[in-house]
Amino acid sequence: MSRFWSDIVNQLTPYTPGEQPQLSKLIKLNTNENPYGPSPKVLEAIAKANSEELRKYPDPNTKVLKQTIANHFELDSNMVFIGNSSDEVLAHVFRGLLKHDKPLLFPDITYSFYPVYCKLFEIDYVQVPLRDDFSLNIDDYEQANGGIIFANPNAPTGIALSIDEVEQLATRNPNSVIVVDEAYVDFANDSAVRLIKQYANIVVTQTLSKSRSLAGLRVGIALANAELIEGLERIKNSFHPYTLDSLAIAGATAAFEDHQYLEATCQKVNTTRERVSQRMQQMDFTVLPSSANFVFAKHKSESAEKIFLALRERNIIVRYFDKPRINEFLRVSIGTDAEMDEFLAALTDIIAGE
């Protein structure tokens, strides 16, 4: 604590990101990174942009990237917002669209950055409990609110809400912004983007960090009607006009142009996810139905913390959340088949007490 801090700093509990250990021979299954790497076309585009032109400022409006994304989703370019990671995009969404007199609603088990943003921007909020099976009940959101936000598929559970139910939320709350955080949507293949033209209150956020294998590039987007996007642009340009650097713009543009590579890697991950889920169930794990690039599971008798620590001793890192309702669950990112084979072998030994 410092006497020079503003009062708000003393009230914050910052978000805790997943570990990034610098160990050799590490199987890293804790931060939901895509194991297959970016499209070769992305690396080629970044290499080409790595020139003496870096002495110039990038385009603050990222026009080429916006148009590429608009084309991909069959939207107008003024319906696309781009930021330095989806976390920054979400920060602008919270500050620009979700700070109202009535409380913001979001699930009690979801992306843990949401309450952090609420405290940072002094937004009143209510955490709505998920059902016992960790699914979201849209009827529970029939209460006064200044907005609703949820991850779909959810994190850390991996459970997805149907697009029909997303539409019902938008219809039932016509005076509130409904934010659908689709960080993992490419593994589920059912996006709320198709609702944007029909519903003026829907905002969809996405990231290039997961399915497009660009966590190191830091690019996120929001998609909504032009009025909502203009609100986000006003926030951005009052904070940081040059959001993306030239290399990120080049790489992100190439990533959206190579849809074939996206589909191929997502299919690989999904196939491995189903195999891993089945094998863990055979080992007496309860595995929640996942539409993301990870599984969320708990063992019938062994504690999650014990398994987490035992895996760590074998240089296998998964995510353990020591929080109410989920402190017996582990979140396991899907790696390559070879990595997951090692994970399953280690898990077998741990459960057997070896």
Which residue, among 202, 136, 139, has the nearest Cα to 174 in the 3D structure? Answer: 202
- Does this chain's domain 7-37+260-348 share its CATH topology with 40-258? no
Give the per-residue pLDDT at 243: 86
Give the per-residue pLDDT at 11: 80
| HEC assignment per residue over 185-241 | HHHCCCCHHHHCCCCCCEEEEEECCCCCCCCCCCCEEEECCHHHHHHHHHHHCCCCC
Q: How many residues would you count in the chain?
A: 354
pLDDT at 18 exceeding the cut of 70 = no
pLDDT at 1 exceeding the cut of 90 = no
Residues whose CB is less than 8 angstroms from the CB of residue 335 and which lie 6 or more positions away in sequence, other chains included: 27, 28, 29, 35, 272, 343
Average pLDDT, the chain: 95
CATH 3.90.1150.10 fits 7-37+260-348, yes or no: yes
Q: What is the pLDDT of residues 160-193, one digit of tens each?
A: 999 999 999 999 999 999 999 999 999 987 999 9
Mean pLDDT (whole number) for 5-33: 80
Give me the residue spans of the domains in the chain: 7-37+260-348, 40-258
Give the per-residue pLDDT at 23: 64
Q: Which amino acid is at 322?
A: D
Record the pTM. 0.94
Q: Which amino acid is at 173?
A: N
How is domain 40-258 classified at the CATH fold level? Aspartate Aminotransferase; domain 2 (3.40.640)
